């Protein structure tokens, strides 16, 4: 049996943590024994998946280091942990873990790393052009001697072409059995339980209210659409653009801001359509979750979004980033289509192409491959 150590900053409920949960939940426990090592304490102001991992009977160990303490002590603590616990494979998710393990002196220790975003775009959007480029270059230098994986074809190609790296592709995935389409009766019951408008067509946006996710375009498109009088736009998430979003909503009674929600599954199953407007993504978990629930998706035309609907013949519901006029037209158009057909097409992608079972199987093959 191979002992795998997953090194993460924290277990805060974010996309990469959800992906890690999905991976471990499908791991063959007769061949692999998962252990998690967190670098920093959990923030009590944010929802953590620690209990969820405990329910999977995963060992969780904590270094409880601040970022400054981690700069000085984390590297030695990680490799001491690896040695004392007889770890066979280390799997990294994120810049900190990659940077701290860049100097692996054990030639027999296999280190896998997953890149979950277009790091160049993400870092420059988050930190500015100069510092963002430096961060991206540092991240690439830290993965040079590791088995590096991109979560989508786009991410792998961007990193490989720009930096001369050699990322493999393993799609992130969700557990298909956990995200099922709701029947009409189930949807109505969920709307009643969640205090959502029952007779209305519901469009849903889930994500951080930040520039990269571009929630303002979604709100402006809804207001522009002809269908707004008979529809509701639900925004789940919080962030620095909250006030700008509320200003763009113009006090519309048909736009509901719910803030952060620790659980979004029931909101997905209660909704009719899902909108993602991001400028940049790796392979968005929230879109996969919507498709798993049979929710037709309207997506900005970035490559990772297009990969998710690539196996659907002529999926017309994409729009140029920040183009709220075109998005409004797509929202009106999708209401005229065969809804059940759209539901089946989205669900089939998760059922047959992109799910956690397939993801785990491919990572298992990578874990067992030669160093």
Average pLDDT over residues 88-92: 97
Average pLDDT, the chain: 95
What pLDDT does residue 107 have?
82
What pLDDT does residue 268 have?
98
DSSP single-letter state for residue 118: -
What pLDDT does residue 320 have?
99
- Structural domains of the chain sorted by starting position, each given as residue range(s) with its CATH number in brackets: 2-172+356-368 (3.40.50.2000), 184-352 (3.40.50.2000)
Query: Token digits for 28?
Result: 């063959």
pLDDT band at residue 296 using 50, 70 and 90 as cut-offs: very high
Contact (Cβ atoms closer than 8 angstroms) between residue 332 and residue 201: no
Residue with tokens 């799910």: 355
φ and ψ at residue 236, rounded to 5 degrees: -110, 120
Buried b (16+ CB within 10 A) or exposed e, 58-76: beeeebebeeeebeeebbe
Average pLDDT over residues 345-361: 97
**Partners of 232 in the beta sheet?**
202
Over residues 231-262, the pLDDT tens digits come to: 999 999 999 999 999 999 988 999 999 999 98
Over residues 301-325, the pLDDT tens digits come to: 999 999 999 999 889 999 999 999 9
Helix ranges, the chain (H): 15-25, 50-55, 67-84, 95-100, 119-127, 129-142, 153-163, 184-193, 215-224, 242-249, 265-270, 285-292, 303-308, 324-334, 339-352, 356-368
Give the C-alpha separation, 280 to 302, whole Å. Answer: 7
Over residues 26-41, the pLDDT tens digits come to: 999 999 999 999 999 9
pLDDT band at residue 70 using 50, 70 and 90 as cut-offs: confident
DSSP single-letter state for residue 328: H
> What is the share, in percent, of the chain residues with pLDDT greater than 90?
88
* pLDDT > 90? residue 105: no
Rg, C-alpha atoms of the chain: 21
Average pLDDT over residues 143-153: 95
Answering whether pTM is above 0.85, one says yes
How would you classify residue 251: left for phi > 0, otherwise alpha for psi between -120 and 50, otherwise beta?
left
């Amino acid at each position: 049996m191979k002992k795998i150590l997953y090194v993460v900053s924290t277990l805060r409920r974010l996309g990469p943590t959800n992906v890690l949960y999905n991976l471990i939940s499908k791991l063959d426990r007769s061949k692999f024994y998962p252990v998690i090592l967190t670098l920093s304490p959990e923030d009590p102001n944010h929802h953590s998946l620690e209990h969820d991992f405990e329910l999977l009977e995963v060992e969780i160990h904590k270094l409880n280091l601040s970022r400054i303490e981690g700069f000085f002590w984390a590297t030695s603590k990680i490799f001491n942990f690896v040695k004392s616990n007889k770890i066979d494979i280390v799997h990294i998710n994120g810049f900190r873990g990659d940077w701290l393990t860049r100097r692996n002196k054990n030639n027999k220790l296999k280190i896998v790393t997953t890149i979950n975003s277009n790091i160049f775009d993400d870092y420059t959007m988050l930190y500015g052009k100069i510092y963002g480029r430096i961060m991206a270059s540092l991240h690439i230098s830290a993965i040079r001697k590791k088995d590096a994986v991109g979560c989508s074809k786009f991410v792998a190609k961007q990193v490989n072409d720009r930096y001369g790296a050699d990322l493999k592709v393993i799609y992130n995935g969700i557990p298909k059995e956990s995200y099922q389409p709701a029947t009409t009766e189930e949807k109505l019951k969920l709307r009643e339980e969640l205090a959502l408008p029952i007779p209305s067509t519901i469009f849903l946006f889930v994500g951080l209210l930040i520039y990269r996710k571009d929630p303002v375009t979604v709100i402006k498109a809804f207001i522009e659409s002809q269908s707004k009088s008979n529809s509701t736009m639900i925004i789940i998430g919080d962030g620095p653009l909250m006030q700008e979003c509320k200003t763009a909503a113009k006090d519309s009674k048909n736009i509901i801001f719910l803030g952060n929600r620790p659980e979004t599954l029931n909101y997905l199953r209660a909704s009719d359509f899902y909108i993602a407007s991001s400028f940049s993504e790796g392979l968005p978990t929230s879109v996969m979750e919507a498709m798993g629930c049979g929710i037709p998706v309207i997506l900005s035309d970035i490559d990772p979004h297009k990969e998710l609907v690539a196996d659907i013949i002529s999926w017309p519901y994409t729009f140029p980033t920040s183009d709220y006029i075109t998005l409004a037209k797509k929202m009106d158009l999708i209401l005229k289509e065969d809804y059940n057909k759209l539901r089946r097409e989205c669900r089939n992608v998760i059922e047959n192409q992109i799910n956690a079972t397939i993801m785990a199987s491919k990572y298992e093959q990578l874990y067992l491959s030669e160093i």
